[in-house]
Amino acid sequence: MEQIPGIKKIREVRALCERSSARRKTGLFVTEGERICAEIPGEDVKAVFMSESYRKQHPDARCDYLLKDPEFNKLADTKHPQGILAVVKQKVCRLEDLLAGEKYMILETLQDPGNLGTILRTAEAAGISAVIMNKGCADIYSPKVVRSTMGSIFRVPFVYVEDLAFAVNKLRESGITVYAADINGEDIYAAKLAEKRAFIIGNEGNGLTEEAKKLADKVISIPMAGKVESLNAAVSAALLMYARI
């Protein structure tokens, strides 16, 4: 039965929205909006919060905590809340469980939440087996990343790793050819890509580190005309994910 959340409960939800440390400590995160909340696997939903106006429009939907519209708007992370948000249990994936696939994206210190969310969403569309990230990447459970995934966060396997070299070597042992994306690499459209492959994408401002490039079997690049020196990280990732053999 729905109840009015106390101050402590509201503070807990705000902490999950605002602090990655709170998300790590509890193993929970917040997702907001009607569409994305509808895509959460039922067993992962810990609590659903609704505004009074949203509740009137959806009287049969699950609601654990009910708030007046102004209070809900303060709780929500978006400027124009839809009236529903959920506290969700984080997925726990191990690298060892993700090695049976054929296509991977490896992200090194990707910082922009919008880029990370877009890459995860594109990964689902392109049939990527999993997304592997080093610890320097943005928090995938931050509200902005979660919204950017448009629900793909619940369907695309992903994992953070302490040691990128270890992860790459594990992929290689599984028959995966690893490509590093860099402006000085071989034209991707001239290279013959392996059927089972992984692409490493680097930081938005600095690109890949030399250490990451050395992990790859081959360094490849996306050809660019004019005076363009680089592409947005999410755009680059999308082109690589859809590259044909």
DSSP 74-94: HH-SSSS--SEEEEEEPP---
DSSP 156: S
pLDDT in tens, 148-171: 999 999 999 999 999 999 999 999
CATH hierarchy code of domain 7-89: 3.30.1330.30
- How many other C-beta atoms can be found within 10 angstroms of the C-beta atom of residue 7? 7
Two tokens, residue 210: 């030399």
Residues pairing with 200 in the sheet:
106, 180
| Residue 88 · residue 31 · CB < 8 Å | yes
pLDDT, residue 76, reads 94
Instruction: Tell me the pLDDT band of 2, cut-offs 50, 70 and 90.
Output: confident
Token pair for residue 156? Answer: 């695309």
pLDDT of residue 141: 98
The residues with which 187 forms a beta bridge, in sequence order, are 221
CATH code reported for the domain at 95-241: 3.40.1280.10
What are the pLDDT digits (tens) for 52-94?
999 999 999 999 999 999 999 999 999 999 999 999 999 999 9
- Domain ranges for the chain: 7-89, 95-241
What pLDDT is stored for residue 230 in this prediction?
84
Instruction: Tell me the whole-structure pTM to 2 decimals.
Output: 0.94
| 106, β-bridge pairs | 132, 200
Query: 53 vs 79, 154, 204, CA distance in Å?
Result: 17, 27, 41
Structure tokens at 199: 């692409």
pLDDT value at residue 245? 58
- Rounded Cα distance between 174 and 106, Å, is 15
Query: Given 3-state DSSP classes, what are the helix, strand and coil percentages for the chain, each rounded to the nearest 5?
Result: 40, 25, 40
Q: To the nearest 10°, report the CA torsion of 228, 229, 233, 236.
A: 70
